[in-house]
């Protein structure tokens, strides 16, 4: 190597070394200005409420304002894409859900981002289980009895879900595949109209997140046959899981904190610790319980594994059922 080339390389290396303390200091000093938290769903929904609770805690714990910014649309893709496209400096984050982070990759014909490549997993926040609930007129006392009824008379049993491509729809398709039952699937535009028809007897059963249905189940206006989480849902402790009943069915809506790809490890670690601190606290658990969210804890690697496993799982369901969204 010629002398001037050697000098150029040496000076470049020295310059890079001089920058390292500045970068480390900037990361250690994070946050030193307000942080924006994108929520890919409208204000007032469960994701929005979770984000605002976490933002309040992070503002108090880290001494800078965490500002929630709702960017709804395309099943959560628009707001999550805003996170994916942001600079990885720790000042743009997202509170997203299992749809944009796993399921949507195979539901939508065109995706503006790849969750596994374009996002940094930070922390799993919690999950909402689904419930399989029936109208009291249905002569089933457990999930296996309902499977037998639906197998014997598929045309006689209509099962609602909150809409095409929703977790309720995907779980119903997984149920059909794993049990061999083939009841009539009825899509609705959300939980509320589906619940109205279930209460009225227009449909016999529902597959949907438990939140909206808990009050009517507790009032015995609907009968919960199973929840689809690994463990029983604390809000309905007497309702067994599908797995307990020998039915291979597990599905939840989960919420997670993410950032753009390349987010500094120091920022990820600090955020993960604070999110886990809140979800472990009595205050966090009490507030989350109000809308059926079961808190979770764990490191970024656990969330990354969950994102990959869930994407693989629902890919098979989407392809088998030929579900496609614009």
- Residue spans in the chain of domains classed CATH 3.40.190.150: 11-19+22-127+254-321
Q: Residue 326's pLDDT band (boundaries 50, 70, 90)?
A: confident
Is the predicted pLDDT of residue 14 greater than 80, yes or no? no
- Domain spanning 11-19+22-127+254-321 has what CATH number? 3.40.190.150
Find, among 301, 313, 306, the residue nearest to 120 by Cα: 301
Q: Are 256 and 121 in contact (CB under 8 A)?
A: yes
- Residue spans in the chain of domains classed CATH 3.40.190.10: 129-245
- Per residue in 67-76, pLDDT (tens digit) is 999 999 999 9
Measured N-to-C along each axis, helices 167-179 and 300-321 cross at an angle, to the nearest 10 degrees, of 70
Is the predicted pLDDT of residue 279 greater than 60, yes or no? yes
Q: Are 97 and 46 in contact (CB under 8 A)?
A: no
Q: How wide is the angle at C-alpha 102 spanned by C-alphas 133 and 85, nearest 5°? A: 135
- Per residue in 15-54, pLDDT (tens digit) is 555 444 444 445 569 999 999 999 999 999 999 999 999 9
Q: Is the pTM of the predicted complex or chain greater than 0.95?
A: no
Written out in words, the top-level CATH class of the domain with range 129-245 is alpha beta
- Per residue in 77-119, pLDDT (tens digit) is 999 999 999 999 999 999 999 999 999 999 999 999 999 999 9
Instruction: Round to whole Å and give the CA distance between 326 and 309.
Output: 24
Give the pLDDT of residue 174: 98
Query: In this structure, what token pair is assigned to residue 4?
Result: 């001037």
């Amino acid at each position: 190597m010629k002398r001037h080339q050697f000098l150029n390389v040496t000076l470049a290396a020295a310059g890079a070394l001089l920058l390292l303390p500045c970068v480390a200091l900037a990361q250690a000093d994070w946050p030193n200005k307000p942080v924006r938290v994108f929520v890919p769903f409208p204000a007032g929904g469960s994701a929005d409420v979770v984000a605002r609770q976490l933002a309040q805690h992070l503002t108090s714990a880290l001494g800078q304002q965490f500002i929630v910014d709702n960017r709804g649309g395309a099943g959560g893709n628009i707001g999550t894409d805003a996170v994916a496209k942001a600079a990885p400096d720790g000042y743009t984050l997202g509170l997203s859900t299992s749809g944009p982070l796993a399921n949507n990759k195979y539901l939508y014909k065109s995706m503006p981002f790849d969750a596994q490549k374009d996002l940094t997993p930070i922390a799993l926040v919690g999950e909402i289980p689904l419930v399989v609930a029936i109208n009291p007129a249905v002569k089933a006392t457990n999930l296996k009895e309902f499977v037998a009824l639906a197998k014997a008379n598929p045309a006689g049993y209509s099962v609602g879900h909150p809409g095409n491509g929703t977790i309720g729809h995907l779980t119903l398709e997984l149920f059909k595949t794993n049990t061999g039952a083939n009841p009539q699937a009825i899509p609705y535009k959300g939980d509320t109209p589906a619940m109205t028809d279930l209460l009225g007897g227009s449909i016999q059963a529902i597959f949907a997140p438990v939140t909206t249905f808990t009050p009517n189940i507790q009032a015995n206006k609907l009968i919960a046959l199973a929840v689809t989480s690994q463990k029983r849902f604390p809000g309905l402790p007497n309702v067994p899981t599908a797995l307990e009943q020998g039915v291979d069915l597990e599905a939840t809506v989960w919420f997670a904190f993410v950032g753009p790809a390349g987010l500094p490890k120091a920022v990820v670690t600090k955020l993960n610790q604070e999110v886990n601190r809140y979800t472990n606290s009595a205050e966090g658990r009490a507030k989350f319980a109000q809308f059926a969210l079961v808190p979770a804890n764990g490191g970024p690697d656990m969330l990354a594994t969950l994102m990959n496993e869930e994407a693989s799982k629902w890919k098979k369901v989407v392809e088998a059922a030929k579900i496609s969204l614009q």
